[in-house]
Amino acid sequence: MIALALTLAAPLPPRIFCVEAARAGCAAAPRTLRFEEARGFGWEDPARFSVKVPEGNYRVTLALGGAKAAATTVKAEARRLMLEDVRTEAGAHTTRSFVVNVRTPALGPPPENAPGGSAVRLKPREIGSATWDDRLTLEFLGTAPQVQSIAVEPADVPTLYLAGDSTVTDQTAEPAASWGQMLTRFLGPDIAVANHAESGETLKSFLTELRLDKMLSAMKAGDFVVFQFGHNDQKRQWPQTYVEAATTYRAYLQAFIAEARRRGATPILATSPERRTFDAAGRIVPSHGDYPAAVRQVARETGVGLIDLTAATTSFYEALGPSRAPLAFNDGGKDKTHHNNYGAYAIARMVAAGLAAADPRLAAHVLREARAYDPARPAPPERFALPASGLRSDLRPDGN
């Protein structure tokens, strides 16, 4: 059973589910088979397949194709883009593989009389989401997607952790999207992305809600972590989590870096994506004050890699211009902070290129075509098309 996979010395063979024709050694999982807790696998709806697993990293291998021509896009958990527009001709088949990180809120309880907690302090919007449950969930979208079989097995690979706010998190519902859930599209099949970012988060709240504890509890030597905070940390109207750019903001970033390094992981800093406010000359008005400069300074002083999303997104918005830049944002452009699929996809390209430049070990995991990106020359938003997930919400992300 896959539930024992992480406790055995020898790896178990993959657990295989046949969606189409059944065969020996393959559990029948037709699309009419609804998910049941007792069975541990099945379809949540016609597009989403789930299998119960312990938390960890899992390699998913898909056999795609069939009698008809198809274009298949695959998302995992809360809309993480794993495969985009995989095309198969009629009668043809292909195999694709990627790694999915699965986690629950549980933490090992602290010793008697010691401070701490036994679970991450989730927000109401997170409870019951695919981000924090005990299932590996896949969503199959596109033009008549055809899935022959799904194989799932534990994967011993490096993990890239993401810590940040609403511009990073896996947004659970359309039309909002963030770069963290698009980044998986630009990475190879031998690295996992564990996105611990959440809407409305700050450096302080990431600590008090035990999110940093959860992330550090699984972090190991050879892993990587990107820290992107600032959108909410700069808000003086949030007195319990406000940090000053020149002092406490820098100190918290340094502490987060030290915690990652203590576990043998490689930290990387990212400045915050800019907000979309243009002046009369068509230039972006900076909204982050001294915070991006503080991130850059901490990166220099500590010798960690830097991804300057403030500068990159400024170039991106200005290249689109005041009339077209809203096409990169949530809520039909009314939201000037959070992005839609097109905007998140473009920023994920910036991050992927930044990762490749930050560390040669990471560069090996970034797809060759994604190792360089010029945000001043974006693809036209009018031509962008990504199949929408089934979940939709009109609520804006926290921290707007």
* pLDDT, one tens digit for every residue, the chain (400 residues): 344 444 444 566 789 999 987 888 899 999 999 999 999 999 999 999 999 999 999 999 999 999 999 999 999 999 999 999 999 999 999 999 999 999 999 999 999 999 999 999 999 999 999 999 999 999 999 988 999 999 999 999 999 999 999 999 999 999 999 999 999 999 999 999 999 999 999 999 999 999 999 999 999 999 999 999 999 999 999 999 999 999 999 999 999 999 999 999 999 999 999 999 999 999 999 999 999 999 999 999 999 999 999 999 999 999 999 999 999 999 999 999 999 999 999 999 999 999 999 999 999 999 999 999 999 999 999 999 999 999 898 877 876 6
The answer to whether 200 and 232 are in contact (CB under 8 A) is yes
Domains of the chain by residue range: 1-155, 157-386
The answer to whether 353 and 365 are in contact (CB under 8 A) is no
308 backbone φψ class: left, alpha, beta (φ>0; ψ -120 to 50): beta
Q: Which is it for strands 41-45 and 266-270: parallel, antiparallel or unpaired?
A: unpaired
Main-chain phi, psi angles of 61, to 5 degrees: -120, 125
The separation between CA 2 and the C-alpha centre of its own chain, rounded to angstroms, equals: 24
The full length of the chain comes to 400
* Prior bond of 175 cis (ω within 30°): yes
Half-sphere CA count of 78, side-chain side, radius 13 A? 33
Angle, CA 233 vertex, CA 240 and CA 225 arms, to 5°: 120
The single residue listed with the structure tokens 């597009």 is 47
Angle, CA 266 vertex, CA 262 and CA 268 arms, to 5°: 120
Main-chain phi, psi angles of 177, to 5 degrees: -155, 155
What pLDDT is recorded for position 398? 73
What pLDDT is recorded for position 3? 44
pTM listed for this prediction: 0.95
Half-sphere CA count of 371, side-chain side, radius 13 A? 15
What pLDDT is recorded for position 5? 42
Question: What's the sign of the alpha-carbon dihedral 119, 124, 129, 135?
Answer: positive
Dist CA 78 CA 294 (whole Å): 32
What pLDDT is recorded for position 12? 60
The answer to whether 72 and 140 are in contact (CB under 8 A) is yes
CATH architecture, range 1-155: Sandwich (2.60)
Dist CA 358 CA 269 (whole Å): 10
Task: Return the amino acid letter for 320.
Answer: L
What pLDDT is recorded for position 361? 96
The answer to whether 192 and 160 are in contact (CB under 8 A) is yes
The answer to whether 139 and 387 are in contact (CB under 8 A) is no
- CATH fold of 157-386 reads Rossmann fold (3.40.50)
Dist CA 31 CA 46 (whole Å): 6
What pLDDT is recorded for position 336? 97
Q: Which residues contact 387 (CB under 8 A, 6 or more apart)?
A: 73, 141, 142
